[in-house]
Each structure stands twice: as structure tokens, then as C-alpha cells.
Amino acid sequence: MTLDVLRDDDGVLTLRLNRPDKRNALDEVTMLALIGAVENASTDDAVRVIVLEGAGDHFCGGADIVARNTGADPRPRVGSIQRRVPTQAHRLIPLLCSVQVPVVCKVRGWAAGIGFQLALAADFTIAADDAKFWEPFMQRGFTPDSGATWLLPRRVGDVRARELLLLGRTLTGVEAADWGAIHAAVPEAGLDGAVAEIADRLSNGPTVALGLTKWLLHAGAGAQLQAHLASEAFALELSSRTDDFREGLAAFRDKREPRFDGR
């Protein structure tokens, strides 16, 4: 298996890329498995947070372009890329951005190409201080994909996005956090604990309200104000009908911490 799917009793679903000998580079099988796992999580009421990580010393070294261009017919017919990417990389990234389950990404070692985009698309990315974030496209001689030119300007600004994409600057985990590309960078020894802490907080949060707020943030990036206010009213209507909303009010009245069950 190139993707490990691990559950716990607290609603945490861990998706672990498992090709450590390839720096967890995404081949077609792994990409489709990851898409399927996230889609399944989107309708699974038992899942309250997704943790995305890599096996071994690296998170994800990008797409496995070597595997893609070997085999019986190493030269696919013209148009194969534009036919393939909408069902693979260009399906995966929007799915992570829009799925109504919080996504936490754990990065150690390299996060290159689509590995960088996975980190950008997550709601929270925690990296080791010495992790490496890199967009390798110019060095390989082709243009960016997997949402790099959409995500990076929104996270780090246009000037820094050009430095990363056109000049191929590599960022450490500390630099990526300073630039606003990721949530935080921590010493390697504390990475697992830092990710577990935020995953635990999200898995014990008001799951419906968290998911709808994530949807609003994503949808609002391209919406006019009046249309987006209508979306906010819709989300408010739904969230105010949940058990978690009633628990939140009761906790406020009783001057205690709320105990949300995700319903």
C-alpha cells in the first residue's frame, strides 16, 4: 500500500503517504488513493479532522514524473497531461481546500512541487524547523501545476510567489512560517506533539461549524460581498441547529468549557 489510512477513536483520520524510498513522491496510484480517502472522509460522520503526513524522513518530494514517463510507451500521445491532471492533481488540491473537514499537514524533510501545494492547501501546516519547501518547476523546464500559481500569491503575496516559482528559492520550515506559507515551524523533536495538539483541538471542536467556516473561507476568495453574505446566512442557519451550538450556549451559561460531540 502506498497510502496508509489510519483511524482513532477521537475522529482523527491520518493519511500517510507511504513511499519513503521515493521521498513519498505521488504516483498515479497514490494520488487516486488519496483523492478517494479524502472524498470518503467528507461524508463520514465519524471523521472530525484529517492529518496528512509522510512515512520516513520526508513529507512529499512532488509528483513521480519518472514513473509517469517510463513503461511500454514512454511517450504518451499529445494532450495526455491536460486530460490527466483534472482527475488527479487538479482534483486533489481543490478537494483539500473545500472538504468540510479540517486538514492538518505534518511536514518533515522535503515538501516539493505538489508536496508544497498539499501543505498550502491544508488548513494548518506544522513543519520541522529544518524542513525544505521548494517549487522545482523552472529547474525541470516546465510550468507550475497543482494550484501553485493560485495558492502561493494568496499565502505569501505576489512578490514572494515569483521568487519561489520563477527563481526556485527553497524555504526552510522557519522561513515558510515567517512568510505565512504555513502555520508554524517547530523543532523536529516536537513536531509529532505539535500536530497531535492541534488535531486534538480540532477533533474536539464544533465539527459542523468548523466545516462550514472552512467552506466560507474558501468560497469567499472569489465571491462578491452580497453573495458571500448570503452564504454566511446559510451557514449560520445550519450551524445554529446543531447539538454543538446548544452545548456552546449551555457552557457559556454555566461558565465552563464546552464539550462538543461533533453533531
- pLDDT tens-place string over residues 154-169: 999 999 999 999 999 9
Q: Which residues contact 39 (CB under 8 A, 6 or more apart)?
A: 95
Q: Which residues contact 149 (CB under 8 A, 6 or more apart)?
A: 161, 165
- Contact criterion met (CB below 8 Å) for 114 and 26: yes
What pLDDT score does 84 carry? Answer: 75
- pLDDT tens-place string over residues 229-253: 999 999 999 999 999 999 999 999 9
In the predicted structure, residue 68 carries a pLDDT above the cut 60: no
